[in-house]
Amino acid sequence: MNLTQEQIDAYKRDGFLVLPELFSPSEVNILRAETERLRHVEADGIFREGEDDKAKTMFRMHEPDGPTYSSAYRALSRVPRSLGVAQQVLDDTLLYMHHCKVNMKPSIEGTVWHWHQDFGSWHLDGIAKPTMATMMVMLDEATELGGCLYMLPGSHTDGRFTPYYDESTAYKFWATPAAQVKARMAGAPDPVAIIGKPGTVAIFDCNTLHASGHNLSARDRWQIYLCYNLCANRPGDIEKPRPDYVRSRNWAPMDLLEDDAILAGERLAAE
pLDDT at 266: 62
At 85, the pLDDT band (50, 70, 90 cuts) reads: very high
CA angle 243, 223, 213 (to 5 degrees): 95
Of 82, 158, 77, 54, the closest CA to residue 115 belongs to 158
β-sheet with 149-151: strand ranges across: 113-116, 210-212, 149-151, 192-194
Is 60 exceeded by the pLDDT of residue 268? no
First to last CA, the chain: 29
Which of the residue ranges 3-12, 130-139, 261-270 would you say has the lowest mean pLDDT?
Answer: 261-270
Which CATH entry fits the domain spanning 5-270: 2.10.10.90, 3.40.50.1820, 2.60.120.620, 3.30.420.40? 2.60.120.620
The whole-angstrom separation of Cα 34 and Cα 141 is 18
Q: What is the pLDDT of residues 129-163, one digit of tens each?
A: 999 999 999 999 999 999 999 999 999 999 999 99
Q: Which residue has the higher pLDDT, 225 or 54?
A: 225
Rg (CA), the chain: 17
- Over residues 14-22, the mean pLDDT reads 98
- Residues 6+ away with beta carbon under 8 Å from 222: 32, 35, 102, 103, 104, 105, 139, 140
- Over residues 253-265, the mean pLDDT reads 95
157 close to 119: Cβ distance less than 8 angstroms: no
Provide the CB-side half-sphere exposure for 191 (13 A, CA): 19
pLDDT at 56: 82
Is 60 exceeded by the pLDDT of residue 270? no
211 close to 36: Cβ distance less than 8 angstroms: no
Q: What is the pLDDT of residues 173-218, one digit of tens each?
A: 899 999 999 999 998 899 999 999 999 999 999 999 999 999 999 9
- Over residues 11-25, the mean pLDDT reads 98
Which of the residue ranges 80-89, 159-168, 187-196 would you say has the lowest mean pLDDT?
Answer: 159-168
Percent of the chain with pLDDT over 90: 82
Q: What is the pLDDT of residues 236-245, one digit of tens each?
A: 999 999 999 9
Is 70 exceeded by the pLDDT of residue 50? no
The residue count of the chain comes to 271
φ, ψ dihedrals at 138, nearest 5° = -80, 125
Considering the entire predicted model, what is its pTM?
0.94
Domain positions in the chain = 5-270
At 27, the pLDDT band (50, 70, 90 cuts) reads: very high
pLDDT at 271: 40
Which of the residue ranges 13-27, 73-87, 158-172, 229-243 would you say has the lowest mean pLDDT?
Answer: 158-172
Percent of the chain with pLDDT over 70: 96
Residue 260 CB burial class (10 angstroms; 0-12, 13-18, ≥19): middle
